[in-house]
Amino acid sequence: MNEPTPFGELPDGRPVTAYTLGGEGAPELRVLDVGATVQSLRPHDPRGGGVDGYGPNLVLGHREASAYVARPPAYHGAVVGRYANRIAQGRFSLDGVTHRLEPNEGATCLHGGPGGFHARLWTVKDLQPASITFQLVSQDGDQGFPGELTAWATYRVEPDTVVVELSASTTKPTVVNLTNHSYFNLSGEGSGSVDGHVLTVDADRYLPVDSTSIPIGAPAEVAGTPFDLTRGARIGEVVRAPHRDIGIVGGLDHSFDLRGEGLRRAARIEDPASGRSLEVHTDQPALQVYSGNFLDGVTVGSGGKRYRQGDGVALETQRHPDAPNQDWLPSPVLRPGETYRSLTLWRLGVSAGSP
């Protein structure tokens, strides 16, 4: 099922290739070598109502390869890095040395900079019927980050589950934070807003931010705020709640400090209309929840419809934003001889008796 297929070309003429994983009752996952990107995720449909035994595509994406490297990027389905999320003022200090990065959101470095990992062609290192491993080598000084970093991204499809494994090694001390930036819509890509989706986040604290979306001090308790998603809430109600931290970013774009350690559940979204659900499990300390606040109707999605604000929600398992500059957060430093690792599971489900 995973025979390579052409997916167009980048603006410089380099070809992009797609690989489709799955079968035998498992989800169908389509990934691209540009950005090690998830371009499509279709669940196995046990109700027999799907196309070819599968339901609709549940992730937002592009129809053309060149759109994945266009600016400003939406990061649809890509692996972002070297440092996912934001680094304030595009700089950090490590072992007494200040490193200046390439800013791409005002003075902020977002998702590794304008030429981050989302815009690179990754190399396929291993391909199996149900899994694929990509590799990317980022040179010393790339986007201002120290050390030659070798990164790997593995996708593995299991019954009702997609496993995302990210890892990296370095030749010099550096900072690393990798994540997959898929936007989910369980009604199907291009079907409109996710306002009716119910979101649960297993976190008792979140990080308040300033006007540039940089954390400002210690985590705040979610209790008594719209950020209390421990029992589930409709996304549309949360993003319209009268709260400073909602208004300052135009919805949800916040890091939640997850409970516990090791591999555990971080979040769950459910679409009451279709009965579909997605559980996110991770070994990472934080979950960035982004409600697609800047989707503006310009981008035409993979299904031919325009994406507008709130048409998908990203659940990014990662380190906290700006951790290189905030000592009270868990350290994102990676040193030679060490291996950065991140494990995330997407577990798909459907309610009994759903249409």
Catalytic machinery residues: 181, 316
Read out DSSP for 187-226?
T-TTS---TT-EEEE-EEEE--B-TTS-B-SS-EE-TTST
Chain-centre distance of CA 205, in angstroms?
A: 20
Give the tokens for residue 5.
């297929």
Give the strand order in the sheet containing 203-206.
Answer: 183-184, 313-318, 286-290, 253-258, 203-206, 220-221
Q: Kindly report whether the peptide bond that precedes residue 82 is cis, defined as omega within 30 degrees of 0.
A: yes
Q: Give me the phi and psi of 351, to 5 degrees please.
A: -75, 140
Pairwise CA distance, residues 293 & 287, whole Å: 17
Instruction: Say which DSSP state 184 is in.
Output: E
Pairwise CA distance, residues 177 & 324, whole Å: 10
Give the tokens for residue 223.
């209790």
Q: How far is CA 253 from CA 19, 228, 287, 332, in A?
A: 31, 14, 10, 20
